[in-house]
Amino acid sequence: MSRVAREGFRREGRGSVNIRLISAYSAQLYLEKGWQIFARHDPNQLLFYYPIQALIDQRKEPSLIQLCRKYNPREKFILSGSIMADVEQCPETPPPLEPTNKDKNNNFNKNI
């Protein structure tokens, strides 16, 4: 994450690292176990850098944009998260944090 943040800042200026996950279940695992759950995955498939202008163009939350304008890039980086949810797989609002039968039956490492 810090590599993506440093390279993104150097190339494009202030912005946010975004971690993109495909399910609430994978997000919950990340919160519980940390980055090591993605050890077998290519970080370029999970982490993306968005400079401030891209965040504005995508109408991201104003509080995220404000954080990006204020942080000290020599000491910190901003991490935002996205969960790509298929509406058909999320009949409840909000989606359940517990794994669904589909999550349990699939090979987790393929689906993060």
Mean pLDDT score of the chain: 84
Looking at residue 22, what is its pLDDT?
Answer: 86
Q: How do residues 28-79 score in pLDDT, each as one tens digit? A: 999 999 989 988 888 888 999 999 999 999 999 999 999 999 999 989 999 9
Position 15 scores a pLDDT of 97
| Beta carbons within 10 angstroms of residue 55's beta carbon | 21
With a cut of 60, say whether residue 8 has pLDDT above it: yes
What pLDDT is stored for residue 99 in this prediction?
Answer: 65
Percent of the chain with pLDDT over 70: 75
CB 79 within 8 A of CB 19: yes
In the chain, what are the domain boundaries?
2-107
Which residue, among 33, 24, 31, has the nearest Cα to 84 in the 3D structure?
A: 24
pTM: 0.72
Specify whether the CB–CB gap between 74 and 36 falls below 8 A.
no
Confidence at 106, pLDDT banded by 50, 70, 90: very low
